[in-house]
Amino acid sequence: MDKFGLRTLVSVILIAVVAVIVYVFPEWLFALVIAGFVAVAQFEFFRMVENRKIFVYKYFGTFVGSLVPVVIYIGSGLPDLKHLEPLLIVIASLLALVLQFVRTDNERDHLVSMAVTLFSLFYIAWFFSFFVRLRALPDGSNLVAFLIIVTKSTDIGAYLIGRKFGKTELIPRISPKKTKEGTVGGVLLSVMLAVLVGRGLTGFSVGHLIVLGVILASLGQTGDLAESLIKRDCGMKDAGKVLAGIGGFLDLMDSLLFTAPVFYFYVKTF
């Protein structure tokens, strides 16, 4: 089986698994699954950073990152504990600094080490945890499904159109295989699917769905490029090897990291 066939098979299996997680799992178990995704993605991120010869407390960062979705779930269910989330961020920031005090080496990379650790908590843990917030909204399962369908259709459209018609490189220094034709194809497929499934899943008007299709497609591809930039800087092809044909969990999540918070605030606003 070639890479495209393997990637397709794994994607079909993932779609079935995600459907169960989104529609069958209760909110507390959904939050734990998100915490698991975050933990694996954080660890993959720290291993990439270590390949760049940057010192990080990867177990500390992974543990704190996995707490973020759990704390958000607790805060959404118990209003009296809604301040746990900013408290966790403050504690994590302080610990990231204090841990530098106990290092025994003489490397002059303390600022970089702290910055990378805290960046990962926002970039991966906090952004992806917006799925927990979305699921907690009325009709949250449908909102989560809509977000995943529209965002991931961008990846599919960009890959298929780029593979067939792609000639003009998008940003070759970051991702040589991505093309402008593929980018346009990804946006068009996202808009089309947003309109087709959006009325039933979200209740938004066609106008809102077209806007959402463009926004989510653009942010999804930005998220994909952002991870490509990080991987290239760290000298890595994939974040991990857990998912055959796809890479690691961070490779699976990258396009969703920016779309999840923006979609949540869009829903809350409109």
Residue type, 57: Y
Q: What is the pLDDT of residues 193-206, one digit of tens each?
A: 999 999 999 989 99
The answer to whether residue 181 scores a pLDDT higher than 70 is yes
Torsions phi, psi for 169 (to 5 deg)? -65, 140
CA distance 77 to 185: 40
pLDDT of residue 182: 87
- What's the mean per-residue pLDDT of the chain? 89
pLDDT of residue 27: 95
The residue ranges of DSSP E strands in 66-199, in sequence order, are none
Annotate 146-173 with DSSP letters as a single string: HHHHHHHHHHHHHHHHHHHH--SBS-TT
Q: Which helix (H) or strand (E) holds 34?
A: helix 27-51
Q: Where are the domains of the chain?
A: 3-269
Helix 58-77 vs helix 110-120: angle between axes, to the nearest 10 degrees? 40
| Confidence category of residue 4, pLDDT binned at 50, 70, 90 | low
Q: What is the largest CA-CA distance in the chain?
A: 59
pLDDT of residue 1: 55
Q: What is the token pair recorded at 205?
A: 């008007």
The answer to whether residue 251 scores a pLDDT higher than 60 is yes
Chain length of the chain = 270
CA distance 182 to 168: 9
The answer to whether residue 239 scores a pLDDT higher than 80 is yes
The answer to whether residue 63 scores a pLDDT higher than 90 is yes
The answer to whether residue 3 scores a pLDDT higher than 70 is no
Q: What is the token pair recorded at 54?
A: 């940057």
What SS3 class is residue 54? coil
- The answer to whether residues 105 and 164 touch, using CB atoms and an 8 Å cutoff, is no
Q: Compute the average pLDDT of residues 216-243.
A: 90
Query: Is the model's pTM score more than 0.95?
Result: no
Indicate left, alpha or beta for 171 from its phi (over 0: left) and psi (-120 to 50: alpha). Answer: beta
Q: Compute the average pLDDT of residues 170-189.
A: 85
pLDDT of residue 257: 96
